[in-house]
Structure formats: structure tokens, C-alpha cells
Structure 1
């Protein structure tokens, strides 16, 4: 497990403690901050991002390390405080331009859009991250490698920048005076996530908001125009795979339908929402409606509780995955990651009320119960300890029984699966 994975793993309890605190404060403020289905979807996308990160280290760290070793113009010492301060400032500057490009270049938006899809704004939104950002994002940090920032310094300041941004994803913290003028703050970042005309594509700073003030992308939150969250082409799904693929797929379709070769390229590098005139005419899309209803398909409350329980189990498995994946054979790590992603996909379908999802989920939990019971092993664990050899089949066997009970019980009124109303 590398430094980033280790810190994220140990920071996870703190994240959930802060989420619980935010939930309590939101209830006290009578603010509808959370919905269970949305929170599970956001956290599940964060899990997928961590899984993808295990296999994307070659792009995120490997290429940087090679460039720092072979192409650096300087050799900066890793034991200098000034190097660390410079690296953090320079990283935040590069992050500003990556973040800005993620809103101005469609192929980069296709990765970044995941972070903006939630129609709620809370601390789980902070953990809602892309699984494909490593494909091109590394390009924006190469200047640090060329300037000689050591790879270990780069890895740590990247983590600091990332962890800082967790707390700004909340509505329960108001304006902070002078702090809002210098740093990325909850108020500044609420404006960034909004789809209102006045806020669109503003406030890109990670730690410092001064970059936005310098380059003309700053906007102040206005109480007379409360932020409306989400994207202008709403996802309207709890499918984590589709969340990561929707813009890539829409862009690929526009590229296919475009008549001019020039337009087939431009659909990827133009700003999000741009479409060739001939494609827009033949395949029109509905106009953006800022007053649209929030996506919230109703399901029985008992099924919401089941999904929450299974998601908690998947979180525990994900922590285990991060602990063993780097030392496991590649095939085993891929299989374990695929199992977790498939489980999150099925949970999303259950929360959408898909009828087929109950059958697929039944196969998943039965398989999860039977394999450890019969084989005495689990992914990357050749011999399960007796306690786990009993606990895993028991828990997932009980899950299968609960699912059967949900399928056969008399119909009950459906609820919205809300955590906070």
C-alpha cells in the first residue's frame, strides 16, 4: 500500500465522523442535506475511484517519477521546508489549470463530470470522484517534475491538496469573511458546483481561491440566487459505471454522427455542451431546466435499509482490497476490483427499482456466502481465519434470506429512502 492509499484508508473513519456530524448539524438547521440513495451513489463512486487508482498508479506517479528522474532541469532537495512550501503552492497552481480545463475541454469534462453529478451538496459529494481522471490529468503536473520536485514530495502535497478540499463540500458552514477572499471555502465551492448562470464554470481553486481572482474566474455566492446543484445534462441514474461513461458515450455518438472530420475532432476538445450544427439539428437535446425535479426514484424503505447494510459491507471489503491489492497477483486484484464494482452496480440498480436487480443481487450474495464456505478462502487470502470463514457465509447467507423476504413480503408503501428530510 503506497502513502496515498495508506492515508486515505486511515482518514476514512474521520471522513465518516465528519459526515455524521454534518448530518446532525443539518437536522438541527432543518436543512435537507442528505438522501440515502444519493449518498450511497457518491460514496460508491469514491470507492470505484480508489479501485481504479490502484491500477492507474503508472500514470499518476510512474510517469511523473520517470520525468523527474530523466528530464528535470533542477534537483530540489526533499529535506528543505522551502521546497515543500513551493511544491504545495505550485501543485495548487497546476490543479487550478487542470480543474479549469476540466470544465472547458470536453474530453476532460467527461472525467470530471462525475464529481458534479450529485444534486445534493454535502461531504459525501467530496468523495464522489472520477475513475478515469488519471488518463490525462497527469499531464498538468509535469511542470513540477521538470522543475525537480521530488516524487515523494509531489505525492504528499497532492494528498494535502486533495484532503483539504473535503471540508469545503458542505452547506452547513456559511460565509467566513476574509478567509473566503484568500482560500477555497464552502461558500466559494458551493458556487463552483452550481448550475445557475451566474455561477457556471467559476471558482476552480483547490486550496487558494486567489488563482480565480488573478485569472478572472472568481464569483461570490449570492444569497439572492441560491446555488442549484448537479449538471446541465442530469445523470438521472444510480449506476456508477454509467456515471463514469455518460459523457464519453454522448461525445462518441456525436463524433459518429458528425459529417465533417473536423467536427469529429472538435467534439472532444471544444467546451462541454458544444455540438456540430448538423448533429444538433438531427439529434436535438432538451433545453436545460433549472427547476427540474431532483432524481429520487421511490423504493420500499426496507429495501433502502438493505442497500445501506450491503453498502457498509462493501466499504469494509474496499478497505481490505486497498490493503492487499498492491501485494496480490494482478489477476487476483483485477478480480477483486471487478467484484466490488459489480456489487456497486447492482446496488445502484436496486435503488433505481429495477426488477432484474433483485435476481442478480441474490446470485451475488449467495456466491459471496458459498465461495468462502466451500473454498475456505477469499480474494488474496489463501486461508481464512476460522472467525472469518464462519462470519462471511453467515452474513451473506442472512443477506440472501433478507432479499428473499423483501421479494415475497406484501407490497408496502414506498418511501424516498431519505436520511434527512
Structure 2
């Protein structure tokens, strides 16, 4: 039996192989499509999305399953080929409308914006997913439940639709002729991610671009107007938590400041960028400048290398979390999740050249080494193999020393940078 978990276990290694291939092809062609800080941020947001999913996947599946069991007009057979094919087509159509309204309704945009914040366009952008989409996204797929599509069909076709969209997030594949007219393709999806006037809020299809042609939202990529990526309210941060809440926070502030009670509600359902007139007058925002420089705070080569290495280790820890979290008690799984999110935030602050990031990372690495040394435990592992424990203590201990050296704060922490006595 094909399960979503098995499909994902096959897909994850492939993601990173294809990212490596894309990087090699782009380098060979002399194109710069990756920034390490942006890639770390995108992959980190993907990790947070997966972490949240561990705790919420039963939310959408549970609601869907209940509706399919109690409200369905009929029961469709799970072993029928046409049920699977029609289920995939219907899911893709429903995804189109979720995606389209995700660009047209502010509260839905607040979740979807995470996927659009990157000012680069590459395969790591595909993995840049929201942590809050579970809140309302399930509503759009209830028609499948009411029509009697089994939970197994829904779960698998949802994953297929999502996995298909990975490969279209690239600049190294050009137009594909007839394929572009039928399917979502790299060319079509580049236009979708662009903030140029020509492309804004177009090409919502997941697998098929036919939906856009049917409902009037299709636009073709134009060589005379190359796509510029990002959002019209640039994130300007590598903090993954802020990436997930920035639009919610902006809506809350506008709703709070609005004098008219109707406007307080309209903030949430109007298109992105809409603001009550009185709020816009009292709290103006800077107009979007298409020519603004990409967000790229300078950091030393050594600190950049440290962030890449630390994030690589964190990816491995994240894979372990996804493996053991379903078997852990809720409290322990939550603590493990908080450790990962804290770690991602610390690395984000380092990439922003913020001093607090140096302290957070030093506390993280030192605390991890001390914890393992004192307990010999790790999340989901009752007792670490002594050799593994020693290796982890050495890794995080050396990381803590490296942070002190890289930061230039080592002497101050050690108390050797005191002012000269008079």
C-alpha cells in the first residue's frame, strides 16, 4: 500500500540531489541563482512547516475523515483507478481556488506569503512552506469529502500535487513548448512568483495550468520583462518565526487602529495591501520600489561557513525529529520542536549579523553539549551509545568555541576585555 509517509521518504533525498544538480547547472552556465543565507532561510521555513505538520496533520485529515464518514453523499471505492485519477484532477482544481484566494484574501495571504518571500527563485524556494496553512486550508478540500473520496485517496493525491510543484521552482529550465500550455511549468511558475505588474497574481495552477486559462488568470512569461521575485512588502529578515507572523501582525495592528468597526473586520478579508483610509493616513507605509536591493546583510566568510555547517547538522537533527516525534509523548515532542525552532532562529540572527544571534547560538551549542554530557540522553533516545555521545559533545563543544572565536566576543565573555585600571 502506497502511503504519504513512504512517498515522502522517497522524495526527500531526491530534493537535495536535484538542488545540487541545479546549483551545478547554474554555475556551469555562469548564473548566480543561490545565496546561502536565502537558501538556509527557505529550508529552515520548510523545516518549521514539517515540525508544525507533526502536531497538526491529524487536524485536516481528521476533519476530512469525519466529513467523509458522516456527510458524504456516497462512498467511492478506494481500489478504483478512476477514483484516483478524478481525485487528483479535483484536488488540483480545488488547490487552484485555495491558491488564488490565498492571493486575494488577506488572512489567507498571511499564511501563503511565506512561500513568496524569497527574492531568489530556485528549488529551495519550493521547500519554503508556511507553518499556519493548516488553519484554514482544509476548508477548500471538503467538497472531496462530501463527494465520497476516501481519506487515503485525499492524502496521497494531496502529496502528489505538492511534490509535482517542486521541480517548477527553477530558472535553469527554459520554456517547454506545448507542455507550458497544459501544465504548470517552470516558465509559468516563474511568472507566478514575480512582483512585476505584468505577472502579479497570475498562474495559480498546481499541476495543470489549464485552470488559469479557463478562469482568466493566465499570463505568459515575457523575455522583455524578466520576473523580479519576492513580495511587494519585502520581509527583510532571516528570522523564520517573523516570516510566519509578519502579515498576521500587520493585520492585527491595522485592525486595532481602525476607527470603523466594519473596517476592523474588512482588514482580514480584503486583498493584500488594502488598509482602512484612516489607518493608512495615520500610519503610512513606504511605497514599494521594484529596484530595491536584495536583502543581504554582510557577514564574514568564516561566519557564513559556520552557519552552513551548523544548519547542515540541524537538518540531520530535523530528520531525526520527523522520525521519532510521532512515537514521543506530547511534552517531549514539543520540547524537541522548540529546540529546533530556537536553533533556526539563532542561525537566522547570525545571518543578520545581529549580536543576539551570537549569544543565542553560544547558549544553544554549550547547553546541548552540557545536557548530553550530564544525562547521556537525546530526544527519543533513552541512552545514547557512548561513542555517539562523545561525538555529539565534541561537535557542540567545538561549535561553542567556534562561535566565541568568530564573534570576537570571546574575550568579553571570558572577562579579559575589561577596561584598563587607573
Q: TM-score range by the shorter chain?
A: over 0.9
Partner of 1:175: 175
Partner of 1:396: 396
Give the drift of 1:409: 9.0
Paired with 1:127 and 1:3, the residues of 2 have a C-alpha distance of 20
Partner of 2:352: 352
Give the drift of 1:215: 0.2
Is the Cα–Cα contact under 8 Å of residues 203 and 218 in structure 1 kept in the other structure?
A: yes
Partner of 2:367: 367
Paired with 2:125 and 2:178, the residues of 1 have a C-alpha distance of 25
Partner of 1:417: none
> Residues 330-377 of structure 1: CA distance to partner in whole angstroms, max 9, x if unpaired?
000100001000100010000000012111110100111111121011
What SS does the aligned partner of 1:98 have?
A: helix
**Structure 2 unaligned regions, length at least 5:** 411-422
Aligned length: 409
Partner of 1:343: 343
Paired with 2:116 and 2:67, the residues of 1 have a C-alpha distance of 32
Higher RCO (CA 8 Å, separation ≥ 6 residues)? 1
Partner of 1:95: 95
Partner of 2:29: 29
**Structure 1 unaligned regions, length at least 5:** 411-421
> Residues 202-226 of structure 1: CA distance to partner in whole angstroms, max 9, x if unpaired?
0000000000000000000000000
Give the drift of 1:194: 0.1
Paired with 1:361 and 1:190, the residues of 2 have a C-alpha distance of 36
Are 2:356 and 1:320 equivalent residues in the alignment?
no
Paired with 1:321 and 1:56, the residues of 2 have a C-alpha distance of 15
Is the Cα–Cα contact under 8 Å of residues 5 and 322 in structure 1 kept in the other structure?
A: no
TM-score (norm 1): 0.95
Paired with 2:9 and 2:407, the residues of 1 have a C-alpha distance of 35
Question: Once superposed, which parts of structure 1, at least 4 consecutive aligned residues long, lie more than 6 Å away?
Answer: none
Are 2:156 and 1:149 equivalent residues in the alignment?
no
> Residues 302-345 of structure 1: CA distance to partner in whole angstroms, max 9, x if unpaired?
00000001101110011100111111000001000010001000
Partner of 2:420: none
What SS does the aligned partner of 1:219 have?
A: coil
TM-score (norm 2): 0.95
Give the drift of 1:12: 1.7
Q: How do 1:85-164 and structure 2 match up within 5 A? A: 85-164=85-164
What SS does the aligned partner of 1:198 have?
A: coil
Is the Cα–Cα contact under 8 Å of residues 9 and 319 in structure 1 kept in the other structure?
A: no
Paired with 1:10 and 1:389, the residues of 2 have a C-alpha distance of 29
* RMSD value, Cα: 1.2
> Residues 246-297 of structure 1: CA distance to partner in whole angstroms, max 9, x if unpaired?
0000000000000001000000000000000111111111111100000000
Q: How do 1:267-282 and structure 2 match up within 5 A? A: 267-282=267-282
Give the drift of 1:6: 4.5
Paired with 1:9 and 1:368, the residues of 2 have a C-alpha distance of 28
Give the drift of 1:5: 4.2
What SS does the aligned partner of 2:222 have?
A: coil
Give the drift of 1:58: 2.8
Paired with 2:337 and 2:372, the residues of 1 have a C-alpha distance of 17
Partner of 1:197: 197
Partner of 2:80: 80
Paired with 2:38 and 2:63, the residues of 1 have a C-alpha distance of 35
Change (3 A) 1:409 1:250: closer
Paired with 1:149 and 1:395, the residues of 2 have a C-alpha distance of 49
